[in-house]
Amino acid sequence: MFGEIEGTGFEVIEPDFRACLIGHARVERLWTGARWSEGPVWFAAGRYLLWSDIPNNRILRWDETDGSVSTFRQPSNNSNGHTVDRQGRLVSCEHLGRRVTRTGHDGTISVVAESFEGKRLNSPNDVVVKSDGSVWFTDPSYGILMDYEGARAESEIGACHVYRVDVSGTISIVADDYLKPNGLAFSPDESLLYIADTGATHHENGPRHIRRHVVNDDGSLSGGEVFAECSNGLFDGFRVDRDGRIWTSAADGVHCYAPDGRLIGKVLIPELVANVCFGGARLNRLFICGTTSLYSVFLNVNGVSPV
Ligand code: MG
| Average model confidence (pLDDT) across the chain | 96
Residue 1 has pLDDT above 60, yes or no: no
Give the mean model confidence (pLDDT) for residues 72-86.
97
Arithmetic mean of pLDDT, 145-173: 97
CA of 180 to the centre of ligand 1 (A): 10
CATH class of the region 4-298: mainly beta
Q: How far is the CA of 23 from the centre of ligand 1 (A)?
A: 31
Are the C-beta atoms of residues 82 and 91 closer than 8 Å to each other? yes
Q: Is the pLDDT of residue 99 over 90?
A: yes
pTM of the model: 0.97
CB 89 within 8 A of CB 104: yes
Share of the chain above pLDDT 70, in %: 98
Secondary structure letter of residue 305 according to DSSP: P
Alpha carbon of 232 to ligand 1 centroid (Å): 16
Q: Label the pairing between strands 58-63 and 37-43.
A: unpaired
How many angstroms does the Cα of residue 237 sit away from the middle of ligand 1? Answer: 5
What is the distance in A from the centroid of ligand 1 to the CA of 289? Answer: 11
Which residues on neighbouring strands pair with residue 228, listed in sequence order? 210
> Residue 129 — pLDDT band, cuts 50, 70, 90?
very high
117: exposed, middle or buried (Cβ count in 10 Å: 0-12, 13-18, 19+) = exposed
Residue 84 has pLDDT above 80, yes or no: yes
**Interior CA angle at 205 toward 246 and 220, to 5°?**
50
Mean pLDDT, to the nearest integer, of 110-116? Answer: 98
